[in-house]
Amino acid sequence: MPPPSSTSSARGPQIRPVQIEARGWGWRHAGRHHHAVSGLDLRIEPGERVLLLGASGAGKSTLVHALAGVLGDAEDGDETGRLLIDGGRAAAARGRVGLVLQDPDSQVVLARVGDDVAFGCENLAVPRAEIWPRVRRALAEVGLNLPLDHPTSNLSGGQKQRLALAGVLAMQPGLLLLDEPTANLDPVGIIEVRDAVVRSLDHSGATFVVIEHRVEVWQDVVDRVIVLDPAGGVLADGPTRQILASQGDRLAQAGVWVPARPPRFPVRHAISNSQSLLRADGLAVGRVPFGRRVASVVAEGITLSVDAGTATVVTGPNGAGKSTLALTLAGLLKPAGGTLRASDSLADGIVAEPHRWRSRQLLTRIGTVFQDPEHQFLAATVRGDLTIGPHALGLSPAEQTSRVDELMHRLRLDHLADANPFTLSGGEKRRMSVATVLATRPRLLVLDEPTFGQDSRTWQELVSLLAELLDEGTAIVAVTHDAQFVSALADEEYRLGAPMSLGVAQP
Amino acid sequence: MTPSIRTSVVARLNPVAKLSVALIVSCALLLSIDWVSAGVALLLEAVLLVWCGLSARQFWLRTAPVWIAAPMASITTILYGEDSGAVLWQFGFISVTEGSAQLGLAIGLRVLAIGLPGIVLLATTDPTDLADGLAQVLRLPARFVLGGLAGLRLVGMFIDDWHSLGLARRARGVGDGGGLRGAARRFFGPAFSLLVISVRRGSKLATAMEARGFGSNEPRTWARPSHVRAADAALVAIGFAIAGIAIGVAVWAETWSFILA
């Protein structure tokens, strides 16, 4: 048998997979009372493929960050026990471990595809002559067939995640870690990334640990599931099928998407003779690029009617203009062409074009839930933020308080009344962003990817809440990639076609 | 955010050489305020700008701020600058004299002579190449150079975030009204949110970079070599020549006035 060598053949590098061992390991982030992870004992053999599950707050990310050596030092937290990679300290295993994170946008380091993939190799002091062959091989492995000088800013979310994966693979790690790599991707992007991972693992034989709420994506790729216990240690550990069967209910309750236990769809009550609230005729939508004056149209020829008590979903591939359409329907962007008119019932005595309404006039008519909840937070506390809308409407202080209290209760935000919205968890932020809009009781609700990256519990709460609003006569327009959301709620589906422009300049 | 850069003689030069030229010419022109040195430098630069590789449209678009700033600075100085010599025109407390007119001309030419090559050299420089040059040629610390380069990429995202924050404020009922105080709140409110969001993005990017082995004190290699070639040395020599000729002609024409003298 030939000795393991660091030079690579044309087939791909020979990689020595990593062994992981935790002995009573724990970590407490600086400034926190509770341990993120405690009393963890486990062993992962070289070449194993593991799906790491657990309720939010069980410390999955902390463990994976520790394995990647990016958790920091004694200043950033207190470590107990030992976490070992190939028998040595995890923090010292630089270059043996590669980590891909959740957010596609904040992992791109450099402006050109080739340079970005080369970045990790440079940091590991790989000789220049060896870097470029590694870069080409890594890009081929993840299926990104782009020129090396292709700008990274033009990539889709799925492409960016594959780029991040290529950057890690080029470092030839013996352990590949993925922290919710597909949570922010559309269905096409999810499959792209999953397949790229499987291809590379089949080549390299590296040890593999993935955190993901959506079990379905990875269950056929991994051979072992480890469930972390929020109270410390391991809750369950074993072959994929066996653990999903024995722990399925518990996991589903904790918000994990277990395929055999899908969330329940709400019961809808049909609304009789629903009236039209908003009508688009040959509508063209677009944004005005930075420093320009004329909008560049992303979708046109849109004709649709939004009716009270009905849910209209807008679907279509990335770049088709779904979000731009939603923002236009919401009266936030000026139509680039065609007409968009509110019915007399919705306009209620003011002009018919929503984009001409004053900001305050929108409040009771159209509410918008943005894709990124952080964009809509305005105040330093949850309660303060929720009061802004009712206050702007000029409601009496007593009425303001009662509305806010009721909403906080309904959306399980009571215990967070004095917390800063920016410090909430992902699911709490989403509930909060919906609450801010509901506080002014708009008759039309526009939501941009409301279920993106949400765990199954938040998903179910959100969908039931929207169903209740529909039953009460509120109209809903939602942009979504989520097929389950469409089946659960949609009365009408408006599908936008392929992107009008691919963003590639003609020479 | 980064402009598309056409391959041209100037674009292929080492960014460090370009930066040096811009600095050499600027320093020379800042030593004196007279119209001859600035005029000569501008004339010599104009000959070189032909090879800059920018199309006419790109050139005028990029350099527009300088073309606006130069006459403005010039006129202001002519009208309000320190008076000396014969009075050419007077209206109230505005007076144009031979001295202030000359000073105005000198300042206008200076803004052009320093601004134009600076902008053109930057517009033909890829930020990644500049970082490679700063780290490999000038040996600036990699952490600092690459951190800055990665941060530059976030600027494009800030613009998108800012736009979304504005739309969100409109959606939440605080997008207009309130007079001056309202306008101030509409600027500072999102500015704070943008700060929070940017810091968060920055720290995520830092983690992603750290996960790829960045930030240790171990030596690193560079995938893209940054060399100083003969052409780069020639460019720096041209920079010195422009500076030298401009100063020489001004001294010969007896217009040179050393600002520290």
| Domains, chain A, ordered by start | 20-253 (3.40.50.300), 276-495 (3.40.50.300)
The minimal CB distance from B170 to the residues A124, A125, A359 is found for: A359
Q: Are strands A475-479 and A311-315 parallel, antiparallel or unpaired?
A: parallel
Selected residues 110-169 of chain B with any CB under 8 Å from a CB in chain A: 126-128, 146, 149-150, 153, 156-157, 159, 161, 163-165, 167-169
Given a cut of 60, whether residue A499 has pLDDT beyond it is: no
A109 to B212: CB separation less than 8 angstroms, yes or no: yes
Tokens for A137, please give them. 């091989």
Give the residue-averaged pLDDT of A108-131. Answer: 94
In terms of DSSP H, where are the helices of A35-177?
60-67, 113-123, 128-141, 157-169
Q: How confident is the model at residue A167 (pLDDT cuts 50, 70, 90)?
A: very high
By CB atoms closer than 10 A (0-12, 13-18, 19+), residue A357 is: buried
pLDDT score for B2: 44
Strands (E), A10-76: 20-29, 37-44, 49-53
Count other C-beta atoms under 10 Å from residue A140's C-beta: 13
Provide the number of CB pairs (under 8 Å) joining chain A to chain B: 169
pLDDT score for A291: 64
Chain B's closest residue to A112, CA to CA, is B128
Per-residue pLDDT of A319-342, as tens digits, reads 788 999 999 999 999 999 999 999
- Nearest-Cα distance to chain B for A250, in Å, is 31
Per-residue pLDDT of B85-96, as tens digits, reads 777 887 877 778
The minimal CB distance from B171 to the residues A106, A332, A422 is found for: A332
Given a cut of 80, whether residue A272 has pLDDT beyond it is: no
Selected residues 222-261 of chain A with any CB under 8 Å from a CB in chain B: none
Give the residue-averaged pLDDT of A29-36. Answer: 84
Question: Which of B158, B170, B204, B214 best tests the A interface by mutation, with the highest count of A CBs <10 A?
Answer: B170
Chain B's closest residue to A93, CA to CA, is B213
CA distance B156 to A278: 34
- Nearest-Cα distance to chain A for B216, in Å, is 8
pTM, two decimal places? 0.82
- Nearest-Cα distance to chain B for A72, in Å, is 10
pLDDT score for A280: 95
pLDDT score for A54: 84
Selected residues 46-105 of chain B with any CB under 8 Å from a CB in chain A: none
Residue B27 has what DSSP assignment? H
Q: What are phi and psi of A78, to 5 degrees?
A: -105, 130
A367 touches chain B (CB under 8 A): yes
Given a cut of 80, whether residue A459 has pLDDT beyond it is: yes
Amino acid at A318: N
A125 to B221: CB separation less than 8 angstroms, yes or no: yes
CA distance A454 to A437: 19
B216 to A101: CB separation less than 8 angstroms, yes or no: no
pLDDT score for B6: 56
- Nearest-Cα distance to chain B for A151, in Å, is 10
Contacts of A285 (CB under 8 A, 6+ apart): A297, A298, A299, A300, A302, A321, A324, A325, A327, A328, A333, A335, A336
Chain A's closest residue to B225, CA to CA, is A128
Q: How confident is the model at residue A213 (pLDDT cuts 50, 70, 90)?
A: confident
- The more confident residue out of B6 and A434 is A434
Rg (CA), chain B: 24
B221 to A330: CB separation less than 8 angstroms, yes or no: no
A380 touches chain B (CB under 8 A): no
Give the residue-averaged pLDDT of A246-274. Answer: 83
Q: Which residues lie across from A51 on neighbouring strands?
A: A210, A225
A363 touches chain B (CB under 8 A): yes
A359 to B159: CB separation less than 8 angstroms, yes or no: no
Q: How confident is the model at residue A506 (pLDDT cuts 50, 70, 90)?
A: very low
Selected residues 175-194 of chain A with any CB under 8 Å from a CB in chain B: none
A344 in Cβ contact with A275 (< 8 Å): no
pLDDT score for B5: 57
- Nearest-Cα distance to chain A for B61, in Å, is 12
- Nearest-Cα distance to chain A for B38, in Å, is 32
Given a cut of 70, whether residue A502 has pLDDT beyond it is: no
CA distance A104 to B123: 29
Helix (H, G, I), strand (E, B) or coil at A279: strand
A439 in Cβ contact with A403 (< 8 Å): yes
Helix (H, G, I), strand (E, B) or coil at A477: strand
